[in-house]
């Protein structure tokens, strides 16, 4: 009888379940916690904590869900009287379509409500293939390709939909401080740990951002100091001897001011020559970047922030026996670049009832370079100020603005006889009119005055049809322009050991663009999420500034195209997130970028026909281990040959870079990760007799020239080549392992 009584009491005992829900250590409030098949559930508090009490003993399925995160479920066994604690880390969904974006319209808006298609990439995306710079991190974004422009110094730019780097405007917190001279180096040294998100717009955006936003723009948005972690550190090393360290901290200064401090250091000093041409396969670098951002809490949540960054880099590439004592000489070839750069940017919302925002930025970039025995010394300064007025009247969402930009540029080359000082004032306005519950139309216009080119008008228009909460159709049309930037046009020549020729007074480029976009979300009953983002684009350029590599192998001739240039194609991204924690992100782009002059149409040099990117991620929850398999694939591109006798391939093969990474999150605040980059060990020397032309004679001392200055075939130069490292379409760095640790305190 006593045993029976105790047994009944045991079965009558109830249990409890408590725990904490986080995202990479950061508490998640208002997260739904539910025992499947019951009415027992709750939501987490501001600290991410939850508790369920009076649960009958038994087996349950715990379900946890939060907007923007993958649903989580796990089996729980609760014995009589047991109190169990479980800590849960949610994974962001493959593609959160409800982010707030600012890049498309210069005002905060839900991505679904934006009339301009904006792609958003979070720090979680960047961590799936850890890199030492934003430049390298973009290699897994569909339709975006980091292009290395020189086999020796490894500098490069960003291509969007096949368009050259000068057509891409790079912003930091909405400020155009990475351009011209800084475009080549400005994408390195931005600590990835400080990035809140990266927003990408494909297609002309000159009506809001002016020159350089002809092909698209990339806006790197840094974290707000008020909500940043207290401390973070992320360091990794690779089998090639690369070391990267990001360290940052939030420091409270008074009751209403927070300072965000970040430091990035990167070092690589082990010369490697796996392709046997006696040149470094990867440029050696010693780089430090220091970033500070002050955010002040003001009345009525008005914005006030001030940020600054200092960047210094010493990089060199060249013959394996090069040392600094050979810098600038003609005995041992090397390309050595000292770069010093500082930036400041600030935003201040005026203390008025109207929503008016003043944004300012300034940067100073100094470069001391030698390319063999050619010295290049340059200074650039860019100042920018902009005032915007955001106003809503009935169904009209209005934006008015005025901006002024100051460019200073000077170098020691013959192309710059005297320092260039340019002031470019601008006015712009746009109106998004919601003329029906599911339909809106945006119209905008920008006016710029450039003393070199006069008045420049760039209109834009956009139509959005919100078919449902899960279906959006958009049409965007507009124009773009790009004024001449001598350094941007000239840099390929300096790094390619060729003479620059400006054939005539270059005119500003103009473009007309049409873009169709369809965005769809699908939520299945079992918790699976599917996102589809598809676009078709067409851009026609006039007055295109083209580098001519082929007329004279010793020159790069810049001229306005007497004809047309067209970029057209289709692009699609597919994101799938399963409740099992499997995430799939796949993107593909087909594009045709061609130039037509004198009735002859040719594919643009160094432009791929097809692009594919992917990211497969799976979390083994019981092991607290995540596996990420990332990769990209690029189709054939036309390559710059030095003449009819050049034995190198005229077109690149279809090639792919693939990576795998494993991340362990079993310890509080600590992540350990490692993996392999370039699993296929692919490098562009495959199928080619050599990559760098005349690597054995980089100063052309043994090259014979005819009366026209053209190289002629000789027994020791049978292909009539001159030294040229511009034949480059992919990284020379082969397979390598990596290992890293992240530590975060919230």
* Rounded distance between C-alpha atoms, residue 237 and residue 130, angstroms: 11
* Range from 1-5, 193-197, 474-478 that averages highest in pLDDT: 474-478
- pLDDT above 90 covers a percentage of the chain that reads 46
User: Which residue has tokens 């045993």?
Assistant: 3
- Give pLDDT tens digits for 620-662: 988 989 999 999 999 999 998 998 999 999 999 999 999 999 9
Does 69 or 511 have the greater pLDDT score? 511
Region 251-265: mean pLDDT is 90
Residue 496 — pLDDT band, cuts 50, 70, 90? very low
pLDDT at 1 over 50: no
Tokens at residue 390, please?
């955001």
Selected residue with higher pLDDT from 277 and 728: 277
Query: Binning pLDDT at 50, 70 and 90, where does residue 2 land?
Result: very low
pLDDT of 68 reads 65
pLDDT > 90? residue 319:
yes
Q: How far apart are CA 684 and CA 677, in angstroms?
A: 16
Give the three-state DSSP class for 472: strand
The pLDDT of residue 40: 87
pLDDT greater than 50 at residue 95: no
- Extract the tokens encoding 333: 């070839």
Mean pLDDT in residue range 385-400: 94
740 confidence band (pLDDT: 50, 70, 90): very high
**What integer pLDDT is reported at residue 3 of this predicted model?**
41
Backbone angles phi, psi at 325, to 5 degrees: -65, -20
pLDDT, position 9: 43
Judged against a pLDDT cut of 70, whether residue 94 lies above it is answered with: no
Model pLDDT, residue 499:
66
**Distance (Å, whole) CA 600 – CA 535:** 28
Asked if pLDDT for residue 495 goes beyond 80, the answer is no
| Most confident option among 105-119, 140-154, 336-350, 512-526 | 336-350
Measured between alpha carbons, how far is residue 571 from residues 9, 161, 173, 536 in Å? 65, 9, 27, 6
Cβ atoms 593, 564 nearer than 8 A: no
pLDDT at 228 over 60: yes
The pLDDT confidence band at residue 535, using thresholds 50, 70 and 90, is: very high
Mean pLDDT, the chain, as a whole number?
86
Q: Is the pLDDT of residue 691 over 90?
A: yes
Q: How confident is the model at residue 680 (pLDDT cuts 50, 70, 90)?
A: very high
Check whether 245 has a pLDDT greater than 50.
Answer: yes
* Torsion sign across C-alpha atoms 719, 722, 728, 732: positive
Q: Per-residue pLDDT for 157 more than 90?
A: no
> DSSP readout, 70-111?
--EEEEEEE-TT-EEEEEEEPPBPSS-TT-EE-TTTSS-EET
Cα distance between residue 544 and residue 636, in whole Å? 23
pLDDT above 50: residue 294: yes
**What is the pLDDT, as a whole number, of residue 478?**
86
Q: What is the pLDDT of residue 6?
A: 41
How confident is the model over 43-56, as a mean pLDDT? 87
Report the pLDDT averaged over residues 51-74.
Answer: 83
Residue 46 has pLDDT above 80, yes or no: no
Please report the pLDDT score of residue 593 as a whole number.
92
> Lowest-pLDDT range, 129-133, 176-180, 307-311, 707-711?
176-180
Q: Could you give the domains of the chain?
A: 2-89 (2.60.40.10), 412-745 (2.40.170.20)
| Per-residue pLDDT band at 10 (split at 50, 70, 90) | very low
Tell me the whole-structure pTM to 2 decimals: 0.84
Give the residue carrying structure tokens 């020397």.
Answer: 685
Q: 672-702 burial by CB neighbour count: b if 16+ within 10 A, else e?
A: bbbbbbbeeebbbbeebebbbbbbebbbbee
Segment 230-243 mean pLDDT: 95
Q: Which pLDDT does position 4 carry in this prediction?
A: 42
> 338: which strand partners?
314, 368
The reported pLDDT for the residue numbered 338 is 94
Q: What value, to the nearest 5°, has the Cα angle with vertex 306 and ends 107 and 355?
A: 35
Higher pLDDT, 235 or 485: 235
pLDDT band at 553 (very low <50, low <70, confident <90, very high): low
Assign 419 a pLDDT band (cuts: 50, 70, 90): confident
């Amino acid at each position: 009888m006593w045993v029976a009584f105790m047994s009944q009491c045991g079965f009558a005992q109830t249990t409890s379940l408590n725990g904490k829900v986080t995202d990479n250590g950061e508490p998640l409030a208002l997260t739904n916690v539910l025992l499947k098949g019951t009415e027992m559930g709750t939501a987490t508090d501001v600290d991410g904590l939850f508790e369920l009490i009076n649960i009958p003993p038994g087996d349950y399925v715990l379900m946890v869900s939060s907007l923007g995160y993958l649903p989580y479920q796990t089996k729980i066994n609760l014995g009589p009287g047991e109190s169990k604690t479980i800590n849960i880390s949610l994974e962001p969904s493959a593609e959160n379509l409800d982010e707030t974006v600012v890049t498309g319209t210069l005002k905060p808006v839900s991505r679904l409500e934006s009339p301009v298609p904006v792609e958003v990439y979070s720090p979680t995306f960047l961590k799936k293939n850890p890199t030492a710079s934003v430049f390298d991190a973009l290699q897994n974004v569909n339709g975006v390709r980091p292009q290395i422009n020189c086999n020796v110094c490894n500098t490069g730019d960003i291509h969007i939909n096949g368009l050259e780097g000068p057509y891409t405007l790079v912003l930091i917190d909405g400020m155009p401080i990475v351009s011209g001279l800084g475009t080549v180096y400005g994408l390195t040294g931005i600590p990835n740990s400080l990035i809140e998100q990266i927003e990408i717009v494909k297609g002309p955006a000159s009506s809001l951002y002016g020159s350089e936003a002809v092909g698209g723009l990339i806006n790197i948005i840094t974290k707000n100091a008020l909500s940043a972690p207290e401390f973070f550190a992320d360091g990794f090393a690779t089998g090639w001897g690369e070391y990267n360290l990001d360290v940052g901290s939030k420091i409270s200064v008074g009751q209403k001011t927070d300072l965000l401090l970040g430091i990035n250091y990167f070092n690589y000093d082990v010369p490697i020559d796996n392709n046997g041409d006696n040149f470094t396969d990867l440029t050696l670098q010693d780089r430090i970047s220091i970033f500070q951002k002050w955010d002040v809490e003001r009345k009525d949540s008005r914005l006030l922030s001030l940020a600054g960054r200092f960047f210094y880099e010493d990089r060199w590439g060249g013959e394996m026996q090069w040392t600094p004592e050979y810098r600038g000489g003609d005995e041992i070839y090397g390309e050595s670049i000292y770069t010093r750069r500082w930036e400041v940017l600030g935003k201040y919302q005026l203390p008025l009832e109207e929503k008016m925002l003043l944004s300012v930025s300034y940067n100073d970039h100094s470069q001391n370079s030698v390319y063999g025995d050619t010295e290049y010394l340059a200074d650039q300064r860019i100042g920018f100020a902009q005032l915007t007025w955001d106003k809503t009247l009935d169904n009209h969402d209005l934006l008015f603005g005025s901006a002024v930009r100051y460019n200073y540029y000077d170098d020691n080359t013959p192309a710059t006889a005297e320092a260039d000082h340019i002031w470019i004032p601008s006015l712009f306005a746009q109106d998004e009119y919601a003329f029906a519950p599911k339909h809106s139309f945006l119209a905008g216009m920008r006016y710029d005055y450039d003393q070199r080119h006069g008045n420049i008008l760039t209109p834009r228009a956009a139509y959005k049809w919100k078919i449902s909460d899960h279906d959006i159709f958009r049409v965007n049309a507009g124009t773009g322009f790009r004024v001449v930037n001598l350094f941007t046009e000239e840099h390929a020549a300096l790094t390619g050991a060729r003479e620059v020729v400006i054939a005539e007074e270059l005119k500003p480029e103009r473009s007309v663009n049409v873009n169709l976009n369809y965005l769809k979300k699908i939520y299945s009953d079992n918790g699976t999420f599917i996102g589809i983002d598809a676009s078709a684009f067409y851009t026609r350029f006039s007055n295109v500034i083209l580098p001519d590599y082929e007329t004279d192998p010793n020159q790069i001739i810049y001229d306005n195209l007497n004809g047309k240039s067209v970029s057209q194609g289709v692009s699609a991204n597919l994101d799938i997130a399963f409740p099992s924690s499997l995430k799939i992100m796949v993107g593909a782009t087909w594009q045709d970028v061609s130039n037509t002059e004198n009735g002859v149409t040719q594919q643009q040099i160094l432009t791929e026909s097809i692009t594919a990117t992917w990211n497969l991620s799976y979390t083994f929850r019981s092991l607290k281990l995540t596996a990420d398999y990332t990769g990209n694939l690029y189709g054939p591109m036309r390559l710059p040959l030095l003449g009819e006798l050049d034995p190198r391939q005229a077109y690149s093969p279809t090639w792919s870079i693939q990576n795998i990474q494993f991340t362990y999150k079993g310890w509080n605040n600590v992540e350990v990760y490692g993996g392999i980059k370039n699993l296929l060990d692919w490098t562009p020397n495959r199928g080619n007799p050599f990559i760098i032309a005349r690597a054995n004679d980089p100063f052309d001392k043994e090259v014979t020239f005819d009366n026209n200055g053209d190289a002629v075939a000789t027994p020791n130069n049978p292909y009539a080549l001159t030294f040229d490292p511009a034949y480059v379409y992919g990284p020379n760095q082969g397979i390598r392992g990596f290992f890293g640790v992240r530590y975060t305190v919230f």
